[in-house]
């Protein structure tokens, strides 16, 4: 006996799908195959079992995923281009699949749908707010309506157009609901996956509980002048110089204890001078291994950006004789600096050019148009544009200098 069941959003919550497959197995329906296009699973009536099913996403792995090739703990049930279904053979397996790939796929989908929704929201809110504003502040709205209605007799063409219009309306509504549903669903299931992958990083470490217990003790330390706070803005545009500064502070006996959440303030506690190696790392994606490997190698995390992509982290390690190397390979060091520099200047340089162009246009307008010249304080606008452009140019320049220094080292 066969049974086919459809599960439209099965890949958006793999963990739930796995549970569902296991439950079907308990009812006596064992999955035999699945169709990713129709999002349907086929079951075969069999003896009820309590076997656990798992679904693995492994993109572009034409054969079965490498995960199971060496393992005897799992049996492959079904397999398509990117997905495979396995059944767990033993009660407590030694190894588990990693949901890394699936998580990064779902995160990408979430980001894209989120951006689309945000853009739609802005496009929607603009006219609505304009109408509302004119209704509230202005003299109200007057709607012009031409009476008459349908004058010509209803033709087939008009009827067809009408039907098409209604169809379009339904389709766009459906797309909207689909987008919102996808976004919300992914938001929920990604959180579960992040937890499973160990990616739900607790950012409370920026307040080291071993040295600073709470706000009161922080105040106390400040009062006793044991705690030194230094502010720095835009330090990550020359990370190597900043690292030197931190190391110099340590050799003077100022131990870095924490950084603020945005990363612009540094808290030091006066102690004995020590050797400390720092590294400012730029990694576009956070992965549990990242923190595991670094921490096991003795690096202590002082700061990490809240964003998952384009994240900057500050690592430090105390040493005796030989300074530890974060990148043991010179090539890696240069590549890291290059990635760091490029990912900023690709948008900073165009932005600076854009601001210079806007500056040019506005200064031209200021000179040409009498109206602007009459209100002289308006000259501030082109000056702000100029300063913003110069700022982006300066940051890009600093990053390029940083890259050149790393390359030459």
Partner 1 sequence: MAKNIRSYMPLSETAYYILLSLNQPRHGYGIIKYVEQLTDGRITLGSGTIYTTLGKMSKAKFITVFLDRERKTIYELTSEGKQLLRLEIERIKTVYKDTLYQERLFDEESKM
Rounded Cα distance between 39 and 13, Å, is 13
Rounded Cα distance between 132 and 126, Å, is 10
- Smallest separation (angstroms) from partner 1 to the CB of 73: 11
Sequence-separated (6 or more) residues with CB below 8 Å from residue 306: 203, 261
Compose the 151-170 pattern: x for residues touching partner 1 by CB under 8 A, - for all others: --------------------
Rounded Cα distance between 201 and 81, Å, is 32
- Token readout for 353 is 């050019």
Signed CA dihedral, 296, 299, 304, 310: sign only:
negative
Q: Which is nearer to partner 1, 30 or 84 (CB)?
A: 84
Among 38, 95, 319, 364, binds partner 1 (CB under 8 A): 95
Q: In the window 321-350, what residues touch partner 1 (CB under 8 A)?
A: 324-329, 331-332, 335-336
- Smallest separation (angstroms) from partner 1 to the CB of 94: 7
Rounded Cα distance between 98 and 105, Å, is 13
Among 96, 124, 168, 170, binds partner 1 (CB under 8 A): 96
236 makes contact with partner 1 (CB under 8 A): no
Q: Which is nearer to partner 1, 102 or 259 (CB)?
A: 102
What residues form DSSP beta bridges with 31?
43
Q: In the window 260-319, what residues touch partner 1 (CB under 8 A)?
A: 279, 281, 283, 287-290, 292-294, 296-297, 299
Count CB neighbours of 6 within 10 A: 10
Q: Which is nearer to partner 1, 81 or 229 (CB)?
A: 81
- Smallest separation (angstroms) from partner 1 to the CB of 300: 12
Sequence-separated (6 or more) residues with CB below 8 Å from residue 189: 12, 13, 14, 15, 16, 106
Binding segment for partner 1 among 28-36, 46-54, 83-91, 96-104 (CB under 8 A)?
96-104
Give the closest residue to 213 by CA, choosing from 147, 258, 246, 251.
258
Q: Which is nearer to partner 1, 96 or 364 (CB)?
A: 96
Q: Which is nearer to partner 1, 193 or 348 (CB)?
A: 193
The CA distances from residue 401 to 260, 339, 388, 408, in Å, are: 27, 14, 20, 11
- Token readout for 179 is 């987008």
- Smallest separation (angstroms) from partner 1 to the CB of 287: 7
60 makes contact with partner 1 (CB under 8 A): yes
E strand spans, 111-260:
227-231, 254-259
**Count of residues that interact with partner 1, criterion CB under 8 A:** 38
Q: Which is nearer to partner 1, 253 or 298 (CB)?
A: 298
- Smallest separation (angstroms) from partner 1 to the CB of 124: 39
Residues of this chain that bind partner 1 (CB under 8 A): 60-61, 65-67, 69-70, 94-98, 100, 196, 198, 279, 281, 283, 287-290, 292-294, 296-297, 299, 324-329, 331-332, 335-336
């Amino acid at each position: 006996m066969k049974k086919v069941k459809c599960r439209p959003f099965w890949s958006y919550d793999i963990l739930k799908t796995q549970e569902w497959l296991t439950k079907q197995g308990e009812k006596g329906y064992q999955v035999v195959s699945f169709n990713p296009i129709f999002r349907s699973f086929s079951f075969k009536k069999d003896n009820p079992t309590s076997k656990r099913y798992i679904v693995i996403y492994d993109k572009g792995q034409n054969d079965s995923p490498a995960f199971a090739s060496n393992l005897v703990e799992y049996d492959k049930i079904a397999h398509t281009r990117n997905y495979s279904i396995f059944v767990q053979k033993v009660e407590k397996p030694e190894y588990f699949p990693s949901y890394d790939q699936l998580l990064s796929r779902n995160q990408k989908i979430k980001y894209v749908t989120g951006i689309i929704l945000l853009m739609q929201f802005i496009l929607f809110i603009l006219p609505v707010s304009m109408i509302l504003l004119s209704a509230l502040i202005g003299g109200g709205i007057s709607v012009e309506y031409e009476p008459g209605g349908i004058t010509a007799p209803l033709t087939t063409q008009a009827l067809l157009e009408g039907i098409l219009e209604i169809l379009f309306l339904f389709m766009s509504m459906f797309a909207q609901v689909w987008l919102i549903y996808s976004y919300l669903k992914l938001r929920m299931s990604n959180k579960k996956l992040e937890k499973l992958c160990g990616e739900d990083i607790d950012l409370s470490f920026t307040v080291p509980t071993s040295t600073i217990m709470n706000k009161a003790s922080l105040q106390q330390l400040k009062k006793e002048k044991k705690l030194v706070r230094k502010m720095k803005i835009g330090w990550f545009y020359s990370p190597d110089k900043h690292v030197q500064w931190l190391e110099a502070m340590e050799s003077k006996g100022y131990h870095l204890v924490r950084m603020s959440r945005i990363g612009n303030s540094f808290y030091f506690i006066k102690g004995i001078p020590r050797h400390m190696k720092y590294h400012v790392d730029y990694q576009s994606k956070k992965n549990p291994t990242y923190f595991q490997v670094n921490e096991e190698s003795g690096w202590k995390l002082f700061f990490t950006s809240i964003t998952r992509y384009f994240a900057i982290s500050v690592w430090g390690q105390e040493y005796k004789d030989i300074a530890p190397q974060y990148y043991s390979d010179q090539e890696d060091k240069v590549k890291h600096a290059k990635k760091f520099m490029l990912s900023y200047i690709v948008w900073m340089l165009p932005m600076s050019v854009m601001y210079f162009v806007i500056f040019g246009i506005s200064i031209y307008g200021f000179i040409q148009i009498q109206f602007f010249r009459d209100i002289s304080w308006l000259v501030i606008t082109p000056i702000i544009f100029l300063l913003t452009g110069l700022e982006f140019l300066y940051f890009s320049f600093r990053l390029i200098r940083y890259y050149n220094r790393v390359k030459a080292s």
